[in-house]
Structure 1
Amino acid sequence: MEYDFIYDRDSRRYRLKLATEQAALQQFLLDEFAHRASAYQPLLNQLKALKPYQDWQYQGREFSLLVQQQEVRVCHNSLLATESGELAVQLLPEELDDDLQLDESGLSSECGLADLLLLLQAWQEFLPA
C-alpha cells in the first residue's frame, strides 16, 4: 500500500494521503482519531492482538472497520445493513430517474491486515506524541 504523510506548516495540520481506492480508509483514520500518535494506540493494540483468522469490528462515528480472515474492510456506516454484515443498497423511490445510482466510491476500502498494521505504525511515528 502506498501512502504519503504531509505536515502543512501553514495550517499546522498532519495529513495522510492514500491512493484513490483507499479513500474510505484515509477518511476513517483522519476523522475517527485525533491527530496524535497515542490516539491510534488502542486500535493498533486490538489489531495486533487478533489471532489468525479471527473476526473483529470497530464501530466508528461514520466508518466501521471490519477484519475477516486477515482482510480489512473499511466502509461507511450507511452501507452496513444487518448484523450479518451484508452490504445493503438503500432503495431509491420509484419516481426517481432510472439513471440515478448510489455512488459507493469513497465509501468502502479493502486491504490486508499486515498492510494496515504497517501503515498505522508508520503514521504513528510521523505524528506528534
Structure 2
Amino acid sequence: MEYQFIRDPITGYRVRMSQEHALVGRWLNEELAIADVKQFVQQMDMLGQDQEEIRLEGKEVRLTLSKDEALFEAHTLYQNEVDLSRYEDDFLELDEDGLMAGCGFEDFRALMLDWQAFTQGRR
C-alpha cells in the first residue's frame, strides 16, 4: 500500500493514497479524528483478545476490521431505496470503482502507526 502524508497549513494533516486505496485515505482524512488515532490503535491491538471484529460506521464510509483484514465500504453501495433509473436521462450512473477497498491487517496497522507518529509530530 502506497501513501504519502502531508501537513497542510490550511487543511491540517492529510494522507494521499494510491487509486486502489483512495477510500482508505478518504476514511483517514474525513472519518477518523486526529484525537482518536491513539485510542483506535490501542483498540486494534485488542483484536482477537476481547473481540473478533471492529465495525465503525462513519458519515460516508464503513470500516470492518478483523485480525486478518481491513475492509472499507462507502455507504453509497447500500442505497437500494434510491431508484437510479430515474437519473438515466441525465447520463448519471453509480460508479462502483473507489467505493470499496481492502488491505491486510498488518499493512493497515503499519499505516495507522505511521499516521499516529506523523500526526503527533514524531515523524
Shorter-chain TM-score tier: 0.7 to 0.9
Alpha-carbon offset, residue 90 of structure 1 = 5.7
Name the counterpart of 1:48: 45
Deviation by residue 1:59-114 (Cα, 9 ceiling, x = unmatched): 11211101256121111122247xxxxxx6965227836x7541022221111111
Alpha-carbon offset, residue 13 of structure 1 = 2.2
Alpha-carbon offset, residue 128 of structure 1 = 3.2
State the AA in 2 paired with 1:120.
M
Assess if the C-alpha contact under 8 Å between 2:47 and 2:66 holds in 1.
Answer: no
State the AA in 1 paired with 2:2.
E
Aligned with 2:23: secondary structure?
Answer: helix
TM-score of the two chains, using structure 2 as the length reference:
0.78
Larger helix share, 1 or 2: 2
Name the counterpart of 1:104: 96
Match of 1:75 among 67, 73, 76: 73
Alpha-carbon distance in 1 for matches of 2:81, 2:25 = 22
Deviation by residue 1:22-78 (Cα, 9 ceiling, x = unmatched): 1111001110123x3x32123222222111892331111211101256121111122
Percent identity, please. 29
State the AA in 2 paired with 1:15.
R
Assess if the C-alpha contact under 8 Å between 2:3 and 2:15 holds in 1.
Answer: yes
Name the counterpart of 1:4: 4
Runs of 4 or more off by more than 3 Å in structure 1? 88-91
Question: Which runs of no fewer than 5 residues in structure 1 stay unpaired?
Answer: 82-87
Q: What is the CA RMSD across the aligned residues, in angstroms?
A: 2.8
Match of 1:63 among 61, 64, 72: 61
Task: Return closer, same or farther for 1:54/1:28 CA change in 2, 3 Å cut-off.
Answer: same
